[in-house]
Structure 1
Amino acid sequence: MKVNFVSTDAIRNALRYSLTKMQTELIAGQKEVQTGRVADLGLSIGVRTGKAVTLSRDIVRMETIVGTNSLVASRLTATQNALGQISEGSSTFLSALAAAVSGDADQATTRQAAVSMLQSLTGIVNSSFNGEHVFAGVNTDVVPLADYFDASAPGPKDAIDAAFLAEFGFAADDPAADAITADQMTAFLDGALRDEFFGSGWETNWSSASDQGITTRIALNETAETSVSANVEGIRKLTMAAAMVANLFSGDLNDQALIAIADKAVRMVGEALGDIAQTQARVGFTEQRISNATERVEMQIDIFKTFLNELEGVDPYEASTRVNALISQIETSYALTARIQQLSLTRLL
């Protein structure tokens, strides 16, 4: 009869190997408990790993779109508030102009109303949100509207003065300006002065904004223009009305010429209010599109996460039970290893 001997060293090494394996399984199990996902995706789902990776990538992409939509919605809210302030200021300015046309307001009062309107308009149009100018189009890093009252460099006021001088041969504050008729003034307003706001003079002297607005992807297959440019008709008309009254009402023009200016300004402000209302409606429509797109994307994210969880998700209760069992086995293995290490022939003898 043959007897096989097993040394305590062999037993100890076998326990060490088993302990190492259980420690590796414990690390994987703890990771699964914390993340709710299998520790080794490729080992667990095999050839379906590519599908899981694609789903994860699409989820990250859609979550990025949702985050972007939140920022864009906030910017559009700021835009709506700014347009509302412009509309309110325009209504006040319109009342002052109506009084000037009827002869119920003096020249200085009407001019001050125009100055206030122009200053307010410039401040609102040049406002920024999150470090970007709201009305600059894609040129978000530049101030969109030049300051009419900035005398540090040639600007809009100098351009208007030059246009007046070229039209009549003298400045608006020259005593000769008293001879300008209402028809002559109307021709100037509809001709040379209008070109300063609706021709090349606008980009040269007034606006640094781009006509092109910011285009944002609001869903995987949908984009929207999510900004308003200072170059829209309503802002141009309002700027022209305020600037021409602020400029020409400081001169030596006669009452008929001043009434012609005020009458032209009344019509332009009225048109501007309609244009601004249309712009507000367009912004509101875009806000609604973004809200709807965000809801759809969030629903897609939920569906994709459900599919992904079916592929790589784990049962948290089963994973916790497995971790607890491994911890108990490891503790038992440590105890056995300690007992085995204490065995020796000397103690036996």
Structure 2
Amino acid sequence: MKTSFVSSSAISQTMRNHMMRMQVELVQRQQEVTTQRLADPGATLGARAGFSFSMTRDIQRLENLLDSNGLAANRLSATQNALEQFSNVSQDLLSTLTAAVSGVSDTSIVRAAATRSLESVTSILNTNMNGEYLFAGINTDVKPVNEFTAPGSPNQAQFDTYFQTHFGFPQSDPAAASITAAQMNDFIDNTLLPGFLGTDWQAAWSNASNETITSRITLNETAQTSTTANSIGMRKVALATAMTSDLLKIPLSEETQKALYTKATALVGEAVADVARVQSEVGVAEIRVKDATDRVEAQIDLSKLFVNEMEGVDPYEASTKLNELLTQIETSYALTARIQQLSLLRHL
């Protein structure tokens, strides 16, 4: 027997199909009330959905830039603090050396100050933040500077080789005490300076890269967001502290000591100016990153406003539609129950 379209079975099936569609719509309405955004932007916006999706991807890229800018800003801030400490150590050493040139300070005091300064600047240059060395350039996983006072250190061995090669005897030889001021100046100018300021620096002292970290701070702008222990100012301080702490172990004449102090004072004075230049470069990078972050945040806010205008829903309207849908579903359940109770047996 074929059922007619006016049968209770047909009506019940129609109600079930309608109920399924309303349940699917109910999930979408509930999602819109919760997120205050269209549940299916593609179906609702049509051709405009492509623009909305493109804007959403741009927002994600910009938010990734904000995260990387935050890391860059933290790295630059820590670098600036380390440079300030480096500058303070250099200034203190400069004061000690200036007094030594004037004959005020004792040799043991000057040597102790130089040794402390060397250890301090080495520690500062090996500053680590979140597992990355600040002064290593792009070699962030490598400690930038070898410790001069450590047993078997390559930079101490290099310094000893410089001395032995230039004078023909080691620092411990009694003949070292007879080194003249002219010989000391010649050793510093023609052996130590070319070595420290040349490629020998990276052969024994530094493991840092000359290349610094380049960070993308906006979609079309990059900035140098790190520095390196290979800068000239760092090398000059290392040279001044190393030669003062090491060569003062020798019982040099007063004239030779004064020549050593004078050279070290000049080096540290120049280094202070060099470090100040690096500080200014880091400061400029900090400002650029901050300005870029402000621009990116404004761009994100504007993009989100556009997307919200297309995909956003009125929370009150969405709640009203949800309540109306719930009422329709409840009515459909009631009608279905009434239809299921229809039977010819009740009329026989």
TM bin (shorter chain):
over 0.9
How far apart are 1:331 and its partner, in Å?
A: 1.8
| Unmatched tracts of structure 2, length 5 or more | none
Q: 1:188 to 1:124 in 2, by over 3 A?
A: same
| Aligned equivalents of 2:310, 2:316: Cα separation in 1 | 17
Residue 260 of structure 2 is aligned to residue 265 of structure 1: no
Partner letter of residue 64 of structure 2?
T
Q: After alignment, is 162-171 or 339-348 more displaced?
A: 339-348
Partner secondary structure for residue 325 of structure 1 = helix
Partner of 1:21: 21
How far apart are 1:7 and its partner, in Å?
A: 2.5
Mapped contact 2:146–2:153 kept (Cα < 8 A): no
**RMSD of aligned residue pairs (Cα, Å):** 1.5
When the two structures are superposed, what TM-score results if normalisation uses the length of structure 2? 0.95
In the TM superposition, what are the counterparts of 1:178-217 in structure 2 within 5 Å? 178-217=177-216
Partner of 1:332: 331
| Aligned equivalents of 2:33, 2:5: Cα separation in 1 | 43
How far apart are 1:63 and its partner, in Å?
A: 1.0
Q: After alignment, is 247-256 or 290-299 more displaced?
A: 247-256
Partner of 2:41: 41
Partner letter of residue 289 of structure 2?
I
Residue 109 of structure 2 is aligned to residue 109 of structure 1: yes
Partner of 2:275: 276
| Aligned equivalents of 1:56, 1:5: Cα separation in 2 | 49
How far apart are 1:125 and its partner, in Å?
A: 0.6
How far apart are 1:203 and its partner, in Å?
A: 0.7
Partner letter of residue 155 of structure 2?
P
Mapped contact 1:174–1:252 kept (Cα < 8 A): no
How far apart are 1:21 and its partner, in Å?
A: 0.8
Partner of 1:161: 160
Mapped contact 1:38–1:314 kept (Cα < 8 A): yes
Partner of 2:99: 99
| CA offset digits 1:64-102 (Å, max 9, x no partner) | 111111111111110010001111111111122122212
| CA offset digits 1:186-211 (Å, max 9, x no partner) | 11001111123111210100011111
| Aligned equivalents of 2:149, 2:338: Cα separation in 1 | 92
| Aligned equivalents of 1:46, 1:194: Cα separation in 2 | 71
The alignment-based identity, stated in percent, is 49
| Aligned equivalents of 2:340, 2:131: Cα separation in 1 | 69
When the two structures are superposed, what TM-score results if normalisation uses the length of structure 1? 0.95
How far apart are 1:348 and its partner, in Å?
A: 4.6
Mapped contact 2:147–2:153 kept (Cα < 8 A): no
| CA offset digits 1:271-312 (Å, max 9, x no partner) | 111111111111111111111111111111111112222222
Partner letter of residue 92 of structure 1?
D
Mapped contact 2:137–2:211 kept (Cα < 8 A): yes
How far apart are 1:344 and its partner, in Å?
A: 2.9
| Aligned equivalents of 1:129, 1:5: Cα separation in 2 | 77
| Unmatched tracts of structure 1, length 5 or more | none
In the TM superposition, what are the counterparts of 1:1-349 in structure 2 within 5 Å? 6-151=6-151, 153-349=152-348
| Aligned equivalents of 1:102, 1:166: Cα separation in 2 | 31
Q: After alignment, is 280-289 or 246-255 more displaced?
A: 246-255
Partner letter of residue 30 of structure 1?
Q
Mapped contact 1:82–1:124 kept (Cα < 8 A): yes
| Aligned equivalents of 1:135, 1:5: Cα separation in 2 | 83
| Aligned equivalents of 2:277, 2:199: Cα separation in 1 | 25
Partner secondary structure for residue 137 of structure 2 = coil
Mapped contact 1:97–1:262 kept (Cα < 8 A): yes
Partner letter of residue 263 of structure 1?
T
- The runs of at least 4 aligned residues of structure 1 exceeding 4 Å deviation read none
Partner secondary structure for residue 54 of structure 1 = helix
How far apart are 1:154 and its partner, in Å?
A: 4.4
